[in-house]
């Protein structure tokens, strides 16, 4: 039977209880075009290393679940055209079929928990889509946060989603949503969403302590840390709003549904912003990698 492979460097760090940060790969296969996806994936790994932790990018390659990729594997994944998008439901099936795919936030959490990694850095999580009262489109990422003990560091959720509904579902599921260093929930490209975050913490040490306390109390599930994009890289809400609205309209007209919705919206916003969203995207992911590395050192 196919099994998982832990990169030797990651295995060594885990055995010696040194800090490891998990990284997702749907962002590579479905979130950004080649070669930006590869550049950013490499830069994020370097950022984790520069901040005292070891990166473990997670993906399925030819049916094998990898926890940590070699530079060659990362390159191959970034170049693969027909990669699958792997959430909790898809990983085992992709492995059984010998497929290649990028793991979503949910998929990456499953794999990280399997090998005892407790911190994970990404860009944005999936959430409740606009119009979900009709489409029922709610990302499996939210349910995963409710059941898998990983601290996920993201820049909030993108305005392609319905942020108030996303907060409501996370509240129902008992997932702590923690804004880092501010009261307001950040909204990916922008530091402000107009919404107050349910919780706030101001240091990596406190976030790590909260993670450990949840474990001690037998509270299953993870916590979501919403880390605002550095101010010099932010794009204001007003600037992106018309592009996001146009992307959502286009998705509706073209009948995009299920797993294709998020990649379609991301691709369309990128196209409509003429690539402007990409540099902000890079800056916020690096920022999340830094915070996740600090948190990992306290765990």
Among 20, 21, 27, 44, which residue sits at the site for ligand PSU (rule: CB under 6 A)? 27
Contact letters (x/-) for ligand PSU, 115-154, by CB under 6 A? --------xxxx------------xxx-------------
Secondary structure E strands in the chain:
4-6, 20-23, 54-61, 64-67, 84-86, 101-103, 119-121, 151-154, 177-180, 199-201, 223-226
Scanning 37-45, 68-76, 136-144, 200-208 for contacts with Mn ion by CB under 5 A, the matching segment is 136-144
Which of ligand PSU, Mn ion, none binds 31 (CB below 5-8 Å, type-dependent)?
A: ligand PSU
- Whole-angstrom Cα distance, residue 37 to residue 41? 6
As measured in angstroms, the least distance from the Cβ of 101 to ligand PSU is: 11
Kindly tell me which of 95 and 261 has the beta carbon lying closer to Mn ion.
261
Scanning 24-32, 135-143, 161-169, 205-213 for contacts with Mn ion by CB under 5 A, the matching segment is 135-143
Structure tokens at 200: 């706030």
Distance, C-alpha 69 to centroid of its chain: 17
Kindly tell me which of 13 and 282 has the beta carbon lying closer to ligand PSU.
282
- Whole-angstrom Cα distance, residue 169 to residue 152? 17
Q: Which of 85, 158, 282, 294 is catalytic?
A: 158
Maximal CA-CA distance, the chain: 53
Asked if residue 137 binds Mn ion (CB under 5 A), the reply is yes
Q: Residue 244: how many CB atoms within 10 A of its CB?
A: 21
Kindly tell me which of 44 and 266 has the beta carbon lying closer to ligand PSU.
266
199: left (phi over 0), alpha (psi -120 to 50) or beta: beta
Kindly tell me which of 135 and 192 has the beta carbon lying closer to Mn ion.
135
As measured in angstroms, the least distance from the Cβ of 216 to ligand PSU is: 28
Structure tokens at 76: 């191959």
Nearest to 100, CA basis, from 119, 75, 74, 80: 80
**Cβ neighbours for 292, distance < 8 A, ≥ 6 positions apart:** 21, 48, 53, 119, 120, 121, 151, 153
As measured in angstroms, the least distance from the Cβ of 33 to ligand PSU is: 12
Kindly tell me which of 188 and 208 has the beta carbon lying closer to ligand PSU.
188
- Residue 267 annotated as catalytic: no
- Residue 75 annotated as catalytic: no
Torsion of CA 10, 146, 226, 204, to 10 degrees: -50
Q: What is the DSSP letter of 184?
A: B
Residues β-bridged to residue 152? 120, 224
Among 117, 150, 266, 284, which residue sits at the site for ligand PSU (rule: CB under 6 A)? 266
Among positions 52-71, residues that touch ligand PSU (CB under 6 A) are none
Judged by the rule CB under 6 A, the positions of this chain that interact with ligand PSU are 24, 26-27, 31, 87, 104-105, 123-126, 139-141, 158, 188, 259, 262, 266
Judged by the rule CB under 5 A, the positions of this chain that interact with Mn ion are 137
Active site residues: 24, 158
């Amino acid at each position: 039977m196919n099994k998982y492979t832990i990169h030797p460097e990651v295995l060594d760090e885990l055995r010696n209880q040194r800090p490891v940060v998990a990284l997702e790969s749907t962002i590579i296969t479905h979130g950004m075009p080649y070669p930006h996806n590869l550049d950013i994936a490499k830069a994020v790994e370097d950022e984790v290393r520069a901040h005292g932790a070891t990166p473990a990018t997670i993906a399925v390659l030819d049916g094998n679940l990898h926890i940590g990729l070699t530079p060659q594997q990362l390159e191959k994944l970034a170049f693969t055209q027909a990669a699958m998008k792997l959430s909790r439901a898809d990983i085992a099936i992709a492995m059984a079929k010998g497929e290649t795919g990028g793991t979503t936030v949910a998929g990456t959490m499953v794999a990280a928990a399997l090998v005892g990694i407790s911190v994970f850095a990404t860009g944005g999580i999936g959430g409740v889509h606009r119009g979900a009262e009709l489409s029922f489109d709610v990302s499996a990422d939210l349910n995963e946060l409710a059941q898998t003990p990983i601290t996920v560091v993201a820049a909030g959720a993108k305005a392609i989603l319905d942020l108030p509904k996303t907060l409501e579902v996370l509240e129902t599921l008992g997932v702590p949503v923690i804004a880092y260093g501010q009261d307001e929930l950040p909204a990916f490209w922008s530091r402000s969403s107009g919404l107050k975050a349910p919780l706030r913490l101001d240091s990596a040490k406190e976030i790590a302590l909260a993670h450990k306390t949840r474990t001690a109390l037998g509270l299953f599930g993870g916590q979501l840390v919403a880390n605002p994009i550095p101010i010099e890289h932010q794009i204001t809400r007003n600037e992106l709003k018309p592009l996001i609205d146009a992307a959502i309209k286009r998705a509706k007209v073209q009948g995009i549904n299920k797993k294709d919705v998020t990649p379609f919206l991301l691709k369309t916003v990128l196209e409509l912003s003429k690539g402007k969203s990409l540099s902000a995207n890079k800056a916020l992911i690096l920022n999340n990698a830094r915070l996740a590395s600090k948190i990992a050192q306290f765990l």
